[in-house]
Amino acid sequence: MIFLPPNISGGLTGVKIQLTFVAIMNRKKLRSIVFYLHRYIGFFVGLLLIVVGLTGSLLVFEQDFDHFMISQQYGHITPQQMQLSPESVVNTIEAKYPARGDFHLFRIYLPDTPSSPYVGQLSSTDVERKEVFINPYTGKIIGERITDKTLIGLILNLHYSLMAGQTGTAIVGIAAFLMCVLTITGLVLWPGWRKLIAGFKIKFDAHPKRVNFDIHKVAGIITVVFLFFTGFTGFCWNFSDLTEPIIYAVTFTSKPSEPVSKPIPSKSTLKLTEQLKIADAALPGAATKSIYFPSKPEEALRINMKLPQESSYDANSNVYLDQYSGKVLRVDNALKMLLGDRFLNFFVPLHYGTFGGLPTRILYVFVGLAPLIVFVTGFLMWWYRYRGKRSISDRVIELLQKL
């Protein structure tokens, strides 16, 4: 054992104390920076995130609510023995809306249940979209509507772009990114790192100031992971031209090339019934969910399908066919996709909370309410502190006046 002289050992102790003091000061400075980032970003985008969060809560059960509204508005469909083929339904829609008219058919959804209609989606030259509902047993058009003018359409437009077009889409995308920053800074500031139980406890019998703080920290920590997911996926969607190449690069995945049809002179496109048979053979056992029709001669016919083994709420398998020859151009099997594509496909369940079925969807309703709760409680925390500083300054002024 080596004994150091008292002056040296004392010097080392002093250095240790000094280094500890510096580390504490640096930690406090960093925490202070994180605190101010959290506060002012929250103030800057808080109201916007409240709008996005509340509309997001409504959109969690978008499809269920929309199916209910369709049945209420256009009548209930009585299931029968046989459904009409998609080709027959497409012919009915195109008879009413010819290809040279204002609207053209770009997608059709097949019935999800025996009592659901076929849904044909049409777009116009001025970007307006229309939905046509067809009885799958009689082939009768039971109703139609302009998509953006429905309640769900308005909520979706408000959620995605604040009804402000491309500018609104960019604003919401930036706000989604800032929400990710808020979740990270909030996680750093969470008092539960010092004492875990205290981080999840709300003292309802304490002073209102303390109760408000407890509600803020608990609401934030319970929803922090899900708010980060929704913010991250929303940012990636709204800036997809920027984020998709980065995701493919980070996951070391090459982006699939776009399938191309080869137009054959004096030959029309292959019948849809034949195309569907080819798609069924390409993905045995998969159920056809929707069909995307080409808008240009060189584009491919895309048939969206779902395999029984897919756990996702949505269908992520696709078969791309040459619209003239029926040749299989590409098959996207959701169970065998590369990492980059799987990562992108998981955005929908992460954003809408469908990855855990009904329980996570219900949870996401409350996640959408979190921005409102943390903004109001955060504002009250600022107000309590601001009012406290004012009262101290008022007392100082009173003392100075008495001198």
Supply 49's token pair: 């995130």
Residue 126 maps to a domain: yes
Instruction: Determine the Cα–Cα distance for residues 139 and 134; give it in Å rounded to an integer.
Output: 6
Instruction: Write down the pLDDT at residue 14.
Output: 56
| Number of CB atoms found within 10 A of residue 134's CB | 25
Q: Are 295 and 323 in contact (CB under 8 A)?
A: no
Which 3 state secondary structure label does DSSP give 142?
strand
CB distance 189 to 39 below 8 Å = no
Asked if residue 94 belongs to a domain, the reply is yes
Domain membership of residue 72 (yes or no) is: no
* Local confidence pLDDT in tens for the 403 residues of the chain: 445 455 555 555 655 555 564 555 577 788 889 999 999 999 999 999 999 999 999 999 988 888 888 888 888 899 998 999 999 999 999 998 886 667 889 999 999 899 999 999 998 876 788 999 999 999 999 999 998 888 899 999 999 999 999 999 999 999 999 999 999 999 999 999 988 888 899 999 998 899 999 999 999 999 999 999 999 999 999 999 999 999 999 999 999 899 999 998 878 899 999 999 999 999 999 999 999 999 889 999 999 999 998 877 788 999 999 999 999 999 999 999 999 999 999 999 999 998 888 999 999 999 999 999 999 999 999 888 877 665 555 454 444 334 4
Tokens of 150: 């429905």
Residue 116 resides in a domain: yes
Amino acid 399: pLDDT: 45
pLDDT of residue 9: 53
Range of the domain at 100: 78-136
**Per-residue pLDDT at 385:** 82
CB-CB neighbours of 45 under 10 Å: 23
- Same-domain status, 191 and 331: no
Whole-number pLDDT of residue 22: 53
Specify if 169 maps to a domain. Answer: yes
The pLDDT of residue 55: 96
- Give the C-alpha separation, 99 to 365, whole Å: 41
**CA gap 32, 30 in Å, rounded:** 5
With tokens 């309703």, the residue in question is 365
Give residues with Cβ within 8 angstroms of 262, minimum separation 6.
298, 322, 324, 325
Task: Answer yes or no: is 393 within a domain.
Answer: yes
**Count of structural domains within the chain:** 3
What pLDDT, on the 0 to 100 scale, is given for residue 109? 96
Number of H helices, E strands in the chain: 12, 8
Both 325 and 362 in a single domain?
no
| pTM score of the predicted model | 0.85
- Work out the widest C-alpha separation in the chain, in whole angstroms: 102
Domain assignment present for residue 3? The answer is no
Asked if 110 contacts 289 with a C-beta cutoff of 8 angstroms, the reply is yes
Residue 141's nearest CA partner among 177, 206, 94 is 94
Instruction: Copy the structure tokens of residue 48.
Output: 């916007």
Same domain flag for 362 and 397: yes
One-letter amino acid at 264 equals I
Q: What is the pLDDT of residue 313?
A: 75
E-assigned strand segments in 161-278: none
In contact, 367 and 230? CB cutoff 8 Å? yes
Q: Are 332 and 341 in contact (CB under 8 A)?
A: yes
> Residue 18: helix, strand or coil by DSSP?
helix
Residues present in the chain in total: 403
Residue 381 lies in a domain: yes
